[in-house]
Chains A and B, each alone.
Chain A
Amino acid sequence: DAMVIQNPRYQVTQFGKPVTLSCSQTLNHNVMYWYQQKSSQAPKLLFHYYDKDFNNEADTPDNFQSRRPNTSFCFLDIRSPGLGDAAMYLCATSRAGTGEAFFGQGTRLTVV
């Protein structure tokens, strides 16, 4: 009965090689978020979608892009991963008006 599903759980990519992380949800929530979490740090919001409206954080590097083709799916594209992009990437969803965010299991990205 997983509600927010991230694939893959672990991803190894080469330095500079584009990589895509995926997130799907069965909650029909209209808001989806991507967070980056490095070891022992707080989750850092990269961007979020409110329905189809994309909201980018001011300090999110251009190297990070996102797509939301429909309500259920959201993708994180890293165009040219650097060593500093190695982290856990967390997808979350919420229903507008409630505030509560539901997190996926995360994708741990390693850059070699």
Chain B
Amino acid sequence: GENVEQHPSTLSVQEGDSAVIKCTYSDSASNYFPWYKQELGKRPQLIIDIRSNVGEKKDQRIAVTLNKTAKHFSLHITETQPEDSAVYFCAAGGQGAQKLVFGQGTRLTINP
């Protein structure tokens, strides 16, 4: 089955700097890669996703890149703000809506 590894487990950056979180996956059949943000006590919220026919996707300060050959994808947050502090999870799955497998999570702290 699919296995998703996520690094780092914790990340602390100064407000205004960039943050990068990386994930690798094992199943070459996976073709859907979402990123979720989870604030304390709340549900995971989808912030961006990418499908295997695309190498990069951007939405304002957030971007995701995908390297299918190497089986890794990354989340990039630029101009970080205090409200970006949360736990971020990557996931991998098939678009056939079979299961999403989550990475272990990254606790991102933005220091003012």
Q: Are B44 and A90 in contact (CB under 8 A)?
A: yes
Q: Are A101 and B96 in contact (CB under 8 A)?
A: no
What chain B residues lie within 8 Å of A94 (beta carbons)?
Answer: 97
Q: Are A40 and B105 in contact (CB under 8 A)?
A: yes
Q: How large is the interface on B (under 10, 10 to 19, 20 to 34, 35 or more residues)?
A: 20 to 34
Asked whether A12 is an interface residue with its Cβ less than 8 Å from the other chain, the reply is no
Asked whether A31 is an interface residue with its Cβ less than 8 Å from the other chain, the reply is yes
Q: How large is the interface on A (under 10, 10 to 19, 20 to 34, 35 or more residues)?
A: 20 to 34
What chain B residues lie within 8 Å of A106 (beta carbons)?
Answer: 42-43
Of A42-50, A66-74, A76-84, the one with at least 4 CB within 8 A of chain B: A42-50
Q: How far is the CB of B65 from chain A (nearest CB, A)?
A: 18
Q: How far is the CB of B7 from chain A (nearest CB, A)?
A: 13
Q: Are B103 and A42 in contact (CB under 8 A)?
A: yes
What chain A residues lie within 8 Å of B98 (beta carbons)?
Answer: 48, 50, 55
Q: Are A99 and B95 in contact (CB under 8 A)?
A: yes
Q: Are A105 and B97 in contact (CB under 8 A)?
A: no
Q: How far is the CB of A25 from chain B (nearest CB, A)?
A: 13
Q: Are A95 and B102 in contact (CB under 8 A)?
A: no
**Chain B, Cβ-Cβ closest to A99:** B32
Interface residues in chain B, defined as those with a beta carbon under 8 Å from any beta carbon in chain A? 32, 34, 42-46, 49, 51, 87, 89, 93-105, 107
A-B contact pairs, 8 of them (CB 8 A): A31-B97, A41-B105, A43-B89, A45-B100, A55-B98, A97-B96, A99-B100, A105-B42
Interface residues in chain A, defined as those with a beta carbon under 8 Å from any beta carbon in chain B? 30-31, 33, 40-45, 48, 50, 55, 57, 90, 94-106
